[in-house]
Chains A and B, each alone.
Chain A
Amino acid sequence: MKAIHYLRCFAGITTREWLRFLNQRGRFFSALVRPLVWLAIFATGFHFVLGVSIIPPYETYIPYDVYIAPGLIAMILLFNGMLISLSMVYDREMGSMRILMVSPLPRWFLLTAKLLAGVVLSVIQAYAFLAIALLWDITPPWYGYITALPALILSGLMMGALGLLLSSAIRQLENFASVMNFVIFPMFFASSALYPLWRVKEASLLLYYICQANPFTHAVELIRFALYGRLEPVAAVVLVAATAIFLTLAVYGYDPARGLMQRRAAD
């Protein structure tokens, strides 16, 4: 197999994800409505309750809705990561996963291509949210829209890889609901998405450490800094490491010698 075969395969997987996305228009709107509800209702309600002091990367006092915008972008990426997982579990239940798995290209490549295809869709939705957020005066500097791109891609990769890993462990579509309770909510709330970590530290040291260990916190911070043209190196390193670990474990999970296909059949 030559490089061109890999490229065609990647194009094919991305096209399929795109077509499925276009077929599910509701998915696009719900991906946008969810963070907009937070922005329009939650952020407005808490606008005068939660004061945010001057913290990097901001150079002045900022309204609360500006503070939570990066967290809501990360929320879009998180939900899309879980949708990658849902789509893998659905494909497995419907049988179309088998067609992917009997491709002559290596399984690590197929999974990575699936992940990248999902990230492309995530990034498009993140930018759509940023465009609508202009209505709330969330206006990072113009160059922030460019410098945010690598942060969005890296964060999307991390959450997509987590989704792939979860899909290798989830055995039935019905079990997917638990992802909401045990992955999405804890990751989102135990992070710096809604409140700065210094405030969490004042309230509970344990929760502060949990937030620090949560890779979602680092995705939020990487995006927050990138929107102002700055790099948060610790967050970048954590995300690269988390992506590598999650993806490696997912590839292991889909390995025919050890993976889910065999375990499922044994049930």
Chain B
Amino acid sequence: MEAHPALSIEGLGHCFGPRRVLNGVSFSVAGGDFTVLLGLNGAGKTTLFSLATRLYVQREGTIRIFGMDIREQASECLRRIGVVFQQPTLDLDLTVEQNLFYHAALHGLSHRDAAERGAAEIERVGLAAQRHDKVRRLSGGQRRRIEIARCLLHRPCLLLLDEPTVGLDIASRQFMLDHVRRLCREEGIAALWATHLIDEVGEGARVVVLHKGEVRAVGEARQLLGETRTPSMRAAFESLVQEREAA
């Protein structure tokens, strides 16, 4: 299983009616990698996440999770994925703990495991004191932290995070980034972090630049700077997305 990349996407395409939103997308994320999927709004990031989580079924190309085709082994694939969607998905009228128990049950975890892991994860995101609070009473940043804690309950090996820092203040954004990077570094979890915020691409991160449904570049941040001969990630990104339009 470890011989395969955590996520491997090959020739992925998708259309909504006549509108093509993804075209020949190919890249992979290795175990323990923190990969940033960088693209403007409308680049196709959320569609890609919906395909990788089987909310949509892909008809063009393949998506493999640790070597397993998501169309053929959906259940096995979904067991290994933890997801934070762009849209908040917590039940506002339930407490933090009740939300965690619900998620754990959907993955078949026992109440005891859910309680132990839930307590550990909310401790890690610094919200142990709020575990009996209704989610409605939490701030946006706290809700996002709970979503991160929740997606780790079933111990996934691959995290898919779709713009998890949208709408958060600087401190909360930094916490989320540091937390996920730590999970990759210390626990070998692979993460695909979708964002349109260029400053979230840290040094040494792998970057996949997605623009208008197509992959424009894949590589380490430094490598992209070299290839585009630009001094900053912002300049590199602008160069990559304008290159073909100019041509």
Q: Say whether B105 contacts A11, CB under 8 Å.
A: yes
Q: Say whether B108 contacts A16, CB under 8 Å.
A: no
Q: Say whether B55 contacts A98, CB under 8 Å.
A: yes
* B79 interface residue (CB < 8 Å to A): yes
Main secondary structure of the interface of A (DSSP, over half): helix
Q: Say whether A15 contacts B92, CB under 8 Å.
A: no
Q: Say whether A265 contacts B90, CB under 8 Å.
A: no
Residues of B with C-beta under 8 A to A13 = 102, 105-106
Q: Say whether B47 contacts A265, CB under 8 Å.
A: yes
Q: Give the residue of B55, B94, B111 whose beta carbon is less than 8 angstroms from that of A102.
A: B55
* A103 interface residue (CB < 8 Å to B): yes
Q: Give the residue of A11, A98, A265 whose beta carbon is less than 8 angstroms from that of B89.
A: A98
Residues of A with C-beta under 8 A to B76 = 104
Report the minimal beta-carbon distance from A177 to chain B, rounded to whole angstroms: 22
Q: Say whether A105 contacts B106, CB under 8 Å.
A: yes
Q: Say whether A15 contacts B93, CB under 8 Å.
A: no
Q: How many residues of B contact A (CB 8 A)?
A: 38
Q: Say whether B107 contacts A103, CB under 8 Å.
A: yes
How many A-B contacts are there with CB distance less than 8 Å? 104
* A1 interface residue (CB < 8 Å to B): yes
Report the minimal beta-carbon distance from B71 to chain A, rounded to whole angstroms: 9
Q: How large is the interface on A (under 10, 10 to 19, 20 to 34, 35 or more residues)?
A: 20 to 34
Nearest B residue to A91, CB-CB: B91
Q: Give the residue of B57, B106, B110 whose beta carbon is less than 8 angstroms from that of A256.
A: B57
Q: Say whether A99 contacts B75, CB under 8 Å.
A: no
* A60 interface residue (CB < 8 Å to B): no
* B142 interface residue (CB < 8 Å to A): no
Beyond contacts A9-B107, A103-B106: 10 other A-B pairs, Cβ-Cβ < 8 A, are A5-B108, A6-B108, A8-B110, A8-B111, A9-B105, A20-B91, A95-B89, A99-B103, A103-B78, A257-B57
Chain B residues with CB under 8 Å of chain A are 16-17, 19, 47, 50, 53-57, 74-76, 78-79, 81, 83, 85, 87-94, 98, 101-111
